[in-house]
Amino acid sequence: MASIRMDGLTKAYGNLEVIHGIDLDIEEGEFVALVGPSGCGKSTMLRMIAGLESISRGEIAFDGEVVNEMTPSERGISMVFQSYALYPHLTVRKNLSFGLENLRMKRAEIDARVAEAARMLELDAYLDRKPKALSGGQRQRVAIGRAIVRHPKVFLFDEPLSNLDAKLRVQTRGEITRLHRQLGTTMIYVTHDQVEAMTMAGKIVVLNGGKVEQVGRPLDLFERPANLFVAGFIGSPRMNLYDGQIVGTEGGAARVASPETGELTVPLGHAASGRAVKIGLRPSHFAVGAEAEGSPLMLDVDQVESLGHETYLHGRLNGAETTTIVHVQNHLDAAPGDRLPVRPRAGHVHLFDAASGQSLGRA
Amino acid sequence: MAATDDGYVRPAREAAVSSGDRGDRLLEAAMGVVEWPFTRLQRLIGLRRMPWVFVLPNMALFTIFVFIPVLLAIGYAFTGGTELLLWNRPFVGFENFSRLLSCGSYLDPATCELDLFWTAVFNTTWYTAFNATGTLVVSLVTALVLNRLTRGKAFFRAIFFYPVLLSPVVVALVWKWFLARNGLLNAVFADMMGERTIFLLEVLWSRFWVVYVSIWFHMGFYTLIILAGLQAIPRDIYEAALIDGTSRWRQFWRLTLPLLMPNLLVVLVLLLIRSVQVFDEAWVLTDGGGPGTANTFVVQFIYETAFATDVRLYGLASAASVLMGLALLVLTLVQLWLGKKAEN
Ligand SMILES: Nc1ncnc2c1ncn2[C@@H]1O[C@H](COP(=O)(O)OP(=O)(O)OP(=O)(O)O)[C@@H](O)[C@H]1O
Ligand SMILES: [Mg+2]
């Protein structure tokens, strides 16, 4: 177990800088997810922590000790690759023991650790098979097993679930979370799937274009996104965003208006009238139908996705062009062409500065 | 590809046309010309018989130039005399084989009835051993180095491959000049060595240079096969090995070598077959197998017995070829068997 500190971490390939001075603290035993769109530098950052990629500038320290110049094995990390990177010509048992043999560990200790990992991951039946005779999910577990047997200080995962089908993904997600509880080891988990990040991590780091957009607990990111990028990235379906304007301020409250939302009053201390803003409303933060009786806001329904226990309405607010998605718990009888009253839930209206994208607060 | 009503499969031409490249258009035109008769033929005989149309020309050539000659050689091996045509030759059973195989001691060619044949067998054996091992090691090392290069890889690959494109006779002549008494090597190193060495007239030196030239000549080809194998090994397993703290040495022995085994086996099979068949470049380089019989190999024996002596012993030469063919067959089978075993 180790705590990790990154200080001005920078990566450049020649003149091309892809990671721009990241500062980040990861506590001992924490499960941290690095999320962000494709190409934002998640893998690069993870590989720098692993020691597979050199550090152009800045520092990485494990438990206060700078590890910049250490080899991957000296850092005491384990990594699970997206491709699994199993040794194809070795049996599962050999795959698990390969790294331990490098440490000149006693045979009995090696066997004990392999047996322990095999039991934890239910690999006993496959120990004498080669990777090519395993299913994707089994290979995945071998890859995790190979990481476990080393008893690392830090686990690194690079999109470990992306080659699995949806069902197996959910199952393995659970297994990794369970593993984290069981071992209590620091884990850094790279994914571009925000659902994975939200469900597994204790702390999420949202990356974009080689910079950190926001760091926080999953619910914090969901409820208090620091900027437009995080607002759009976290939460599915994504937050509805509308171009609006502050039309007036009265004693700690501001009136904002957009063609879609009409005029809304939000408590906001420091806003100049006339300022251009983005108004954000999450799909699940609407009252619909009977609940919104009397609301001046009407949704023209274009499309209804009914999953039985929940319903997604795609439509337009107040006759505007922008598509709005509204999420309703339970089944809702609605059909394309319907016109339903909706009301944004109080306390869930997000405001962002249109120019900088920074959050102005939530009300 | 799209299948039409008649079941004829047309190549997708759209790609070629849309790219608009002139070469592609030419190819396109040529395809059109070639395509028409085949389309007709296919309508006539049906899709299922079409593979035969494509295989037959090669099969015919193979039959005429390889298969029938092999059968003929086996036939000749059981006949005697000096007549050229098979039907004029008397059947002698295994006489040719027993002559070839009659030795006082198989460890000493001098005790054999056909001592030149056994000398050639011994020479071919040591040549094969040194040439195959040497080429394998040199090609492997070269491929490993090339594979690690970050720049200039294509350039060096081409440089090492270049000799393969030359004619064996040209290679042999160039090296002969290089190694001659008045050749380049002596000219450069004469002072250092004190006196000029006539490399190709000394038994050990000549054998060394025969193997050396062969390695120089052919290594590029094998390097290419091994390099292809190296590049097919996924890079991420080396990263996994790095995280596992695997030393360079262990990476090579436990990961690279086993994963390269299929390629190395192909290389070894080819090398052994081609080493046993050594003739042209060595023959030219050593002026017909010299000094004495130090570099006389089995193929040279076969050639001289059948075609280059006053008494042309086609039967004996054929019997020697058959024996050589059997030796190659056994070698290949053993290696295929080893390959199968390594896989499991
Ligand atoms: N060797 C390299 N040379 C130059 N640029 C590179 C190199 N490797 C990665 N990059 C660039 O660095 C950026 C970050 O790449 P990285 O692989 O870390 O992205 P990622 O966030 O992991 O994306 P993905 O979700 O697709 O895996 C990308 O823009 C990529 O083009
Ligand atoms: Mg990646």
**For the residues of B249-306, what is the DSSP string, one character each?**
HHIIIIIIHHHHHHHHHHHHHHHHHHHHT--HHHHHHTTTT-STTTT--HHHHHHHHH
- Backbone CA torsion sign across A83, A87, A89, A93: negative
CB-CB under 8 Å, A71 with B245: yes
The CATH number covering residue A319 comes to 2.40.50.140
B317, part of any domain:
no
Using CB atoms within 10 Å of the CB of residue B283, give its burial: 0 to 12 exposed, 13 to 18 middle, 19+ buried: buried
Higher confidence at residue B11 or residue A35? A35
pTM (two decimals): 0.79
Domain end, chosen from A216, A233, A250, is at A233
pLDDT at A18: 94
- Model confidence pLDDT, tens digit, residues A80-120: 998 999 999 999 999 999 999 988 889 999 999 999 999 88
Between the CA of A21 and the centroid of ligand 1 the distance, in Å, is: 16
Both A165 and A255 in a single domain? no
More confident: B5 or B282: B282
Listed in sequence order, the residues at least 6 apart from B102 whose beta carbon sits closer than 8 Å to its beta carbon are B112, B113, B114
Are residues B254 and B119 located together in one domain of the fold?
A: yes
Residues in chain B: 344
A77 SS3 class = strand
Q: Mean of the per-residue pLDDT values for chain B?
A: 86
Looking at every residue in chain A, the average pLDDT score rounds to 90
Distance of CA B7 to the CA centre of its chain: 42
| In a shared domain, residues B220 and B297 | yes
The dihedral built from the CA positions of residue B40, B45, B48 and B49, taken in this order, carries a sign that is negative
- Nearest CA residue ID for atom 14, ligand 1: A41
Strand-by-strand arrangement of the A4-13 sheet: A16-26, A4-13, A57-62, A65-66
Name the domain boundary from A207, A233, A259.
Answer: A233
Interval A190-215: pLDDT, tens: 998 888 999 999 999 999 999 999 99
Give chain A positions within 8 Å (CB) of B236.
81, 83, 85
Gap between the Cα atoms of A125 and A133, Å rounded: 12
- Neighbour count for residue B187 (Cβ, 10 Å): 13
pLDDT number for residue B321: 94
Record: contact A98-B244, CB cut-off 8 A: yes
B241: nearest CA partner in chain A: A99
From the CB of A49, is ligand 1 less than 6 Å away?
A: no
Closest partner CB to B236 (pick from A85, A98, A102): A85
SS3 A65: strand
Q: Are residues B136 and B276 in the same domain?
A: yes
Question: Is the domain of B148 the same as that of B234?
Answer: yes
A207 and A317 in a common domain:
no
Place of tokens 């064996």: B168
Kindly give the residue spans of alpha helices, DSSP state H, lying in chain A: 42-50, 72-75, 92-102, 107-120, 136-148, 166-183, 194-200, 218-223, 228-233
CATH of the domain at B190: 1.10.3720.10
Question: Separation of A39 CA from ligand 2 center, angstroms?
Answer: 7
Interface predicted TM-score (ipTM): 0.84
Residues A185 and A73 in one domain: yes
- Residue B247 domain-assigned (yes or no): yes
The whole domain housing B19 covers: 1-45
* pLDDT tens digits for range B205-261: 889 999 999 999 999 999 999 999 999 999 999 999 999 999 999 999 999 999 998
* Residue B252 near chain A (CB below 8 Å): no
Which of B9, B29, B45 terminates a domain? The answer is B45
The pair of structure tokens assigned to A340 is: 């339903």
pLDDT at A233 over 60: yes
Q: Do A270 and A122 fall into the same domain? A: no
pLDDT at residue B279, as a whole number:
92
CATH code for the domain in which residue A68 is found: 3.40.50.300
- The sign of the dihedral angle between the CA atoms of A285, A288, A291, A296 is positive
Query: Cis (ω within 30 of 0) for the bond into B37?
Result: no
Among A108-117, A327-336, B164-173, B320-329, which stretch is predicted with the lowest mean pLDDT?
A: A327-336
My answer on whether B124 and B23 are in the same domain is: no
Q: Can you tell me the distance from the alpha carbon of B123 to that of B116, in angstroms, rounded to the nearest whole number?
A: 10
Does A70 touch chain B if contact means CB atoms closer than 8 Å?
no
Beta bridge partners of A253: A250, A267
A121 in the same domain as A195: yes
What is the spatial distance between Cα B52 and Cα B31, in angstroms, rounded to a whole number? 20
The answer, for B129 touching chain A at a CB cutoff of 8 Å, is: no
A145, HSE (Cβ side, Cα atoms, 13 Å)? 32
By CB atoms closer than 10 A (0-12, 13-18, 19+), residue B266 is: middle
Q: % helix / strand / coil in chain B, to the nearest 5?
A: 75, 0, 20
Six token digits for residue B145: 């180095």
B137 shares a domain with B281: yes
Q: What pLDDT digit, counting tens, does each position of A141-193 carry?
A: 999 999 999 999 999 999 988 888 888 888 888 889 998 998 899 999 999 88
> A153 and A55 share a domain?
yes
Structure-block tokens of residue A30 = 């924490």
| A99 contacts in chain B (CB < 8 Å) | 243-246
How do residues A270-282 score in pLDDT, each as one tens digit?
767 788 999 999 9
Distance of alpha carbon A3 from alpha carbon A10, whole angstroms: 20
A261–B contact, CB cutoff 8 A: no
CA angle A193, A198, A203 (to 5 degrees): 110
pLDDT above 70: percentage of residues in chain A: 99
pLDDT at B13 over 60: no
Give the pLDDT confidence of A284-296 residue by residue, as tens digits.
Answer: 999 988 888 888 8
Q: Which residues pair with A329 in a beta bridge?
A: A310
Q: Same structural domain for residues B41 and B135? A: no
Q: What is the pLDDT of residue A229?
A: 94
Cross-sheet strand order for the sheet of A203-208:
A77-80, A154-158, A186-191, A31-35, A203-208, A211-216
Ligand 1 within 6 A of A83 CB?
no
CA–CA gap between residue A313 and residue A332 (Å, rounded) = 9
Question: A308 is in which domain, residue-wise?
Answer: 240-362
Kindly state whether residues B144 and B275 are assigned to the same domain. Answer: yes
- Asked if residue A127 lies in contact with residue A118, where contact means CB atoms within 8 angstroms, the answer is yes
For residue A142, what are the CA distances in angstroms to A46, A160, A315, B155, B275?
21, 12, 46, 41, 45
Pairing, β A349-353 against β A339-344: unpaired
A24 and A164 in a single domain? The answer is yes
| A281 in contact with chain B, both atoms CB, cutoff 8 A | no
User: What per-residue confidence (pLDDT) applies to A220?
Assistant: 92
Model confidence at B2: pLDDT above 80: no
Count of structural domains, chain A: 2
Tell me the two tokens of residue B8. 């004829």
Are both A223 and A339 inside the same structural domain? Answer: no
Q: Could you say which of A77, A85, A103 has the minimum Cβ distance to residue B237?
A: A85
What pLDDT digit, counting tens, does each position of B93-113 carry? 888 898 888 888 888 888 888
**pLDDT on residue B61:** 95
Band (pLDDT 50/70/90 cuts) for residue B131 is: very high
Over 50: is that where the pLDDT of B262 sits? yes
B220: how many CB neighbours lie within 10 A of its CB? 19
Listed residues A213, A233, A253: the one ending a domain = A233
Listed residues B45, B60, B76: the one ending a domain: B45
Q: Are residues A145 and A80 in the same domain?
A: yes
Q: Give the atom of ligand 1 at the shortest distance from the alpha carbon of A192.
A: 25
Same domain, B255 and B141: yes
Please check whether residues A37 and A155 belong to one and the same domain: yes
Q: Are residues A311 and A183 in the same domain?
A: no
Q: Which phi and psi (to 5°) does residue A220 adopt?
A: -60, -45
Q: Is residue B97 part of a domain?
A: no
Residues B135 and B258 in one domain: yes
Q: Is residue B135 assigned to a domain? A: yes
* DSSP for A144-191, written as a single string: HHHHHTT--SEEEEESTTTTS-HHHHHHHHHHHHHHHHHH--EEEEEE
Answer whether residue A77 shows pLDDT above 80.
yes
For B288-326, b/e burial (b = at least 16 CB within 10 A) is ebbbebbbbbbbbbbebbbeeeeebbbbbbbbbbbbbee
**Is the same domain home to B124 and B239?**
yes
In angstroms, the CA A315 to CA A237 distance is 14
Q: Is the distance from CB of B8 to CB of B35 less than 8 angstroms?
A: no
If you take atom 31 of ligand 1, which residue's CA is the nearest one? A39
Say whether both B181 and B268 belong to one domain: yes
Cβ(A310)–Cβ(A279) below 8 Å:
no
Same domain, A91 and A114: yes
What is the domain count for chain B?
2
User: Which residues make beta-bridge pairs with A214?
Assistant: A206
Out of A9, A15, A18, A156, mutate this one to test ligand 1's pocket (max ligand atoms within 8 Å of CB): namely A18
